[in-house]
A and B are shown apart, each in its own frame.
Chain A
Amino acid sequence: MSTYIGLDMAPSAMRWIVRDGAGGGGEAGGPIYGIRGCPKHPDYDSAVSWSDAMAFRQGEFEAKFGSGIEKTVRYELPEGHAAEWLRSFFQSAEGHPAVDVNGTIAVAVPDHASPEDRDDVLAGLSATKYANVSLIWRPVAALLGWMDYQKNKQGVDLSILLNRRIFVLDLDAGRPELTELACVRHRKNRDWIVPSRRRPSSDTLSTDGTFARECYQAMLADVPEWEQLVGGQFYADLQHAIEAGDNGFEAWVRRRGAWQPKRVKFSHALPNDILDTIKPILARMREDLNNADILLINGWVVRRYGEQILAQFKTKCGNVASISADSVARGAALFAERLAKGLPTYYDRLPEYSFWDGFKSDWVLMFNGEQEVEPGREYRYPEAGSRPCKLKIEKYADNVSFYVREPTSKEYARRIKTVFAEFLRSDLELSLSAVVVPEKGSARFVLAMCDDKAPAIFVSGTATVREIVLRWRSDDNKANKEVSVEYIEEHQGYVEPQPVLGRIYDSEDNLRMVEEYVKTPRGAAFYGLWAAYNARFHPDARNGIADRVGYRATPIEPTRGLFGTRYVFNVRVDKATRAFAEKCAKEMPYVTPSLFAGTGSLLKDGMLQQNYCHCGALEDYKNLIRARLTNGDEPQYNFSFYNAAGYVLGEDPKDVEILLNYICAKIHLQAERGKLWWSFFRMLCWHPECKLTSATKPLLEKALSILCSQDANKVVNGGRWTFNDIKYLLLAILYALRIRESGEDLSAPLKQHLIALLSTGLLSNVPFPQTMVPKVNPASRLPGDTLSKYVLRFVLRQDTLADRELGSAMGGV
């Protein structure tokens, strides 16, 4: 006969109930007091777990005797270790119940358990022979257990619970939790009355485990070594004495290394300090309860002091009761049995997963948390019959990522990313769906190709597939190295770099144009060749670079945007790019004296042509720029030189230092300063390998100080050659914040200076540049937003995900 187990893993004790399905109440197991976490053993590189408090753990001495103060380390069941602990518990020879391998196990988890915590519990048991494991919320299990007791032992008609709010205050969940539930008739089986979880506990009641410690401290007020008793080797004795209602117990405490026996007494009267501890909880509950509600309280402190504590809650609610110690386990066992038999269990809310829609710049809810659902089946997004959720991936992309979040999760959001087998040759549509099972852990997401004819792009092991499953936890994606899960903060404080592809990839004609030019002997006009291809090589937005360039290629600058800063290792393109750069270098001199940008024959400006080759520029040209910057050269009226660093340098991590040194040294330059800042911004924008670290921080701050004090004035008031450069100063500030990637930040005085400059100074009220048209819904942008306010948000670390997406779009030009 199959068995059904309910497991209650409270930090103070573990209890379980085994039901054999024959209708009996079930055989109780435990309690095992003082469940311990599972610290990793440093020499074994694996988790070593114990099931009793007496087990000696490596490192305990350091914790106990560090800094000369004798104390005891308290081990709560930490996330990440629950898996190992459960595995060892079920595999150990003693302490675990005799159960049927094919039976169902339900583990009660607190309301505040995040998807990772829940996954952890399931992962722990998945390694054992017990395959049918589900989770149930502790408050729901407590209510189920209480309802079962009322019905079967007290003979209460459960219909009296309908249309009433039932609150469960769980003081044994690691931190106090107040959950609102209700009893409702099952939609299909009308004679069944089941719990419905209405409002999970929020963090306003308590955010940590200090409540339990304060209770212990109050009870052991006469014991100076109370911390040793709570969570030490003899914690089980303490907890047993408390729960048995004893007046005290024989404890052992240690003073200066020597253990001594000590008689610890408890009073039957409720210590005042416990009342003081409960008062904040009562105050936070004030708005929730009214006289008609039912309040059930689970916790050892309530079971011990009974009416003395319950009376405090009766001031807020007319019907208050304490539930028995095994209610949670009993309810979990009931749930396991009913789930296995297909009987009504309870109603729950779906976790409110949402994903980020880049175009709408907003989160899109996948599952409606208001909808009441029953455990035992999968819930899908989008639902069957509704429109699929599609993501459009532009050509040349080599990966896809999407942001997803879940409210109870500890971090703001996650970016789940998967890399393609190769970069896309054309735009691609993918469909995104999600599946969640309420009593199981986190959701799983599925990306699938919409076009059946396109070749498979996802990587799974050694094969390419058309559909890929992505898990919430990075550990669950380990089998597929192409998938990564990254935690995202709400306010990141910087924009990520965005390398760009050249238009040479747009069409075969672009590539052939370059190849034809390379073959043409000296003197043949590039202009003429370009004109020949002009009909097909139409430089408007439709044929723009995959990175969404906004400007048009012109006869004067036909190669602008033709080459990019991103390598995709296309042999033919690489060869053509190199040949082009060599031919330009051969036919056009690098240094052209008296050449103003925008005048004269740009087609003869060798530096400009090399610049437009971006990462394809010749190495000797790059080295020349590095050398000239290092030597402090100042070629007059040659803006191509000052822009060169931004175009062609950045792959070597030292390039940014060379440029910053130059910026700091050449304060006397005028119109050139704007170009230098353009180079700085582009270097950081186009090259992920270009990083700002703690080593470059002093130099960076010096340069930014000069920007604030002098360059802003030069650029804003500099006249014809500088008016277009204002936005580059702002973007330079924006990308300078990439120093935050390495964990550093700008100093407070500099930040204040920047804030003043952006909010009320010379760089305030600068609008968004027209040419940098982001592909986001304009309606999603804040009304009245300007580039200055935008950059200011980043400086203040008030940026949002929408801001960062906008920045990536702008910077990718």
Chain B
Amino acid sequence: MTKVFHYPWRAAVKPAHWRLPSPSGDVVSPEVGAFVDHGNGNFEEIPGPTIREGTGQNRVLTKDSDQFFYSSEYSHQFQKETTDSFVRRCHFALTDAFIWLSGYLYRYREDSGSPLAERKLSDACAAFRGYLGSQKDFAPESLIVEIARNAPGAVASIVAGPRMVLTREHTEVPLDKIQEMDVSSLVDLARRPGRTVAMKAGPKQRLTALTRRETADTIENRVVLDFIFRSARSARQYVDEMCARCPRREACLLHDPVVEKDCPSERVKLVAGYSRHCAAWIRSGAFAEVTRLKEPRTRPNYVLQQNIRYVKVWKYYLKLLRLEDVEEDVWRWRRAAWSDMAKMLFMMVWEERLKPHAKLQTSRRPFMIRSANRNGRWFVPTPFEDSLVFDERGRYKTLYILSADDAAGLTGKKDLLAKNADFFIVVAADGEFTIRPVWAFCEDAKTQSDLDANSLAREASAEINAAGMRGLALFPSDEKEPIVKWTGEACVEGLNLFSADTNSVFDQLENYLKGVLS
């Protein structure tokens, strides 16, 4: 029987938590990621809503394995308004982080001139740690920061003197001012009553003639205007997010990074300043007669490709559009993106905290990430390295972090696949295996309004423990204090990636791994 459930560990939990799909559709908030169990041991993750639509529907084809050749559609309904600002902030932060990470690898390849060039995991970890937050600037580098830094000059020069074209218009022109007529004007003249031109010109002595008028309503200017609007929106979002994270949030009086004296982030100031510029450009009237694009323009004209002022704007425009596409994509698969983030965090702990103390490292692996996400996933299926060996007073323990298939292969326990975990921590010693599944989940927006993070963690750990599972579940949190809740041997942790103390996240994970090892 087809079942739908939220929270990945519920695949192995009592059926009480499962919900049967109703024929008319089910209202869910699958931005957290819901799963469909088709009854054959496969769990299919369902994507969430897009950010561009309002109320939307998502159809999933389900097959009822009890009945032969029967299939039904199961539809979700969801509403964008159910999400709150934290969820959106977290989502954009995740997207930004992975776009930056994949760009990091591919920039290296471009610079080295070799498609085979790879970065070491240690380099990637160090760079990502720098991205998450440094002493100097808590706000990370982002496309909008790059735009704010590089684009204003080009846009300003366009605003100061946009490219104008002469358009031909038919207007009523006084007789003594007529310079040019065309077929339409002559036809209009012929149709007018009267025998002579003067009679046809009427009391006002005007005839329809061709005039030329300068206008800025060209394709390239429409693109520039669209770029200004989009980048302004992106800049506002960035400033809002960063201000919410700002360590001086309570002390901030004006809540305006441009004028705030002690604003700790240069990047936020830069972007806020850019946002003001955008408003000024729109108010300036240079684009008053330029029509808005109804949909993004992806095909350039000659000017956008060749004109030195417009080329830069065009390149950033394309990047913005792509970013919006990626954001929309990742928004639908937020849980999957968070799962990748959990993997990245574990890889960083592995590289920076555990390896230096390991007796033996059995393999190395280059850092591999896709250039574009696939259903929210950026990493290749198993980005982890092989194993680390620790020596505890002559007793050797081997630590693995593995995908579900590899864990089942190593331990010989095929039932691990039924736990629907994102990955597994396995310790092998003295012929025995210690296995801990790790799930990544996001808070459901509805529950988030009912439960605070601590309560959520407590309830989730109780649920996992009640199912007889020992494992770790991770979710993104914006609490200042670390959230760690245990029920039996089940642990749920809320991770704040963008807190002032980034080390606290790694401390949490390292403590958990050491606990498993011991």
Contacts from A to B (Cβ < 8 Å): 41, 43-44, 46-49, 52, 54-56, 58, 60-62, 65-66, 68, 84, 87-88, 91, 233, 252, 254-261
Contact = CB atoms under 8 A, between A and B. Distances in A.
B430 A258 contact: yes
Contacts of B285: none
B365 A55 contact: yes
B386 A56 contact: yes
A35 B166 CA distance: 69
Interface in B339-391: 360-366, 368, 370, 380-382, 385-387, 389
Interface stretch (B30-38, B126-134, B408-416, B453-461): B408-416
B398 A46 contact: no
A270 to B, nearest CB: 32
Contacts of A259: 360, 362, 387, 389, 396, 398
Contacts of A258: 396-398, 428-431
25 contacts: A41-B368, A41-B380, A43-B370, A43-B380, A47-B116, A49-B116, A52-B364, A55-B365, A56-B364, A56-B365, A56-B385, A61-B405, A62-B409, A66-B409, A84-B116, A252-B389, A256-B431, A257-B398, A257-B400, A257-B411, A257-B433, A258-B431, A259-B362, A259-B387, A259-B396
B406 interface: yes
Instruction: Indicate the member of A48, A62, A258 with the most B CB atoms within 10 Å.
Output: A258
Given A44-B368, A48-B118, A65-B410, 13 more contacts: A55-B363, A55-B364, A55-B365, A61-B402, A61-B406, A65-B409, A66-B409, A87-B116, A91-B114, A91-B116, A233-B362, A256-B433, A258-B396
Interface string B415-434: 00000000000101111010
B115 interface: yes
B410 A88 contact: no
Contacts of B361: 54
A54 to B, nearest CB: 5
A55 B115 CA distance: 18
A254 B400 CA distance: 13
Nearest to B408: A65
A796 to B, nearest CB: 46
Contacts of B426: 257
Given A58-B380, A257-B428, A48 B366 contact: yes
Contacts of A60: 386
A58 B379 CA distance: 13
A58 B405 CA distance: 13
A377 B397 CA distance: 61
A88 B366 CA distance: 14
A238 to B, nearest CB: 15
Instruction: Indicate the member of B365, B400, B405 with the most A CB atoms within 10 Å.
Output: B365
A48 B431 CA distance: 34
A254 B387 CA distance: 11
A46 B397 contact: no
Interface of B: 114-118, 360-366, 368, 370, 380-382, 385-387, 389, 396-398, 400, 402, 405-406, 409-412, 426, 428-431, 433
Contacts of A257: 398, 400, 410-411, 426, 428, 433
Contacts of A68: 412
Instruction: Indicate the member of A41, A60, A259, A261 with the most B CB atoms within 10 Å.
Output: A259
Instruction: Indicate the member of B361, B385, B398, B400 with the most A CB atoms within 10 Å.
Output: B398
Contacts of B362: 54, 233, 252, 259
A256 B363 contact: no
A254 B412 CA distance: 16
A129 to B, nearest CB: 10
Nearest to A49: B116
Nearest to A38: B116
A233 B363 contact: yes
A184 B387 CA distance: 57
A52 to B, nearest CB: 8
Contacts of A43: 368, 370, 380-381
Contacts of B118: 48
A694 to B, nearest CB: 26
User: Which applies to chain A's interface (DSSP): helix, strand, loop or mixed?
Assistant: mixed
Given A46-B116, A259-B387, A54 B409 contact: no
Contacts of A66: 409
A802 B385 CA distance: 56
A513 B430 CA distance: 94
A233 B433 CA distance: 22
Contacts of B433: 256-257
Given A43-B370, A56-B385, A65-B409, A48 B116 contact: yes
Contacts of B366: 48, 55
Question: Closest 4 A-B residue pairs measured CB to CB?
Answer: A257-B428, A56-B363, A258-B428, A65-B409
A260 B400 CA distance: 15
A46 B410 CA distance: 28
Contacts of A61: 402, 405-406, 409-410
B408 to A, nearest CB: 9
Contacts of B429: 258
A515 B428 CA distance: 87
Nearest to B388: A259
A263 to B, nearest CB: 14
B112 to A, nearest CB: 8
A233 B114 CA distance: 26
A254 B360 CA distance: 12
Nearest to A67: B409
A601 B410 CA distance: 82
A65 B412 CA distance: 9
Contacts of B411: 257
A146 to B, nearest CB: 36
A765 to B, nearest CB: 58
A252 B360 contact: yes
Nearest to B370: A43
B116 A88 contact: yes
Nearest to B409: A65
Nearest to B380: A43
B182 to A, nearest CB: 44
A68 B408 CA distance: 11
Nearest to B410: A257
Contacts of B400: 257
A52 B411 CA distance: 28
A128 to B, nearest CB: 9
Nearest to A48: B116
Contacts of A47: 116
A84 B117 CA distance: 12
Nearest to B363: A56
A46 B115 contact: yes
B411 to A, nearest CB: 7
B367 to A, nearest CB: 12
B364 A54 contact: yes
B247 to A, nearest CB: 39
B410 A261 contact: no
A256 B365 contact: no
Nearest to B116: A88
Contacts of B396: 258-261
Nearest to B364: A54
Nearest to A232: B362
A84 B116 CA distance: 9
A573 to B, nearest CB: 45
A60 B428 CA distance: 18
B116 A256 contact: no
A252 B382 CA distance: 24
A511 B433 CA distance: 84
A18 B433 CA distance: 51
Contacts of B114: 88, 91
A673 B400 CA distance: 72
Nearest to B374: A43
Nearest to B403: A61
B422 to A, nearest CB: 17
A84 B405 CA distance: 29
A274 to B, nearest CB: 29
A486 B281 CA distance: 65
A704 B129 CA distance: 74
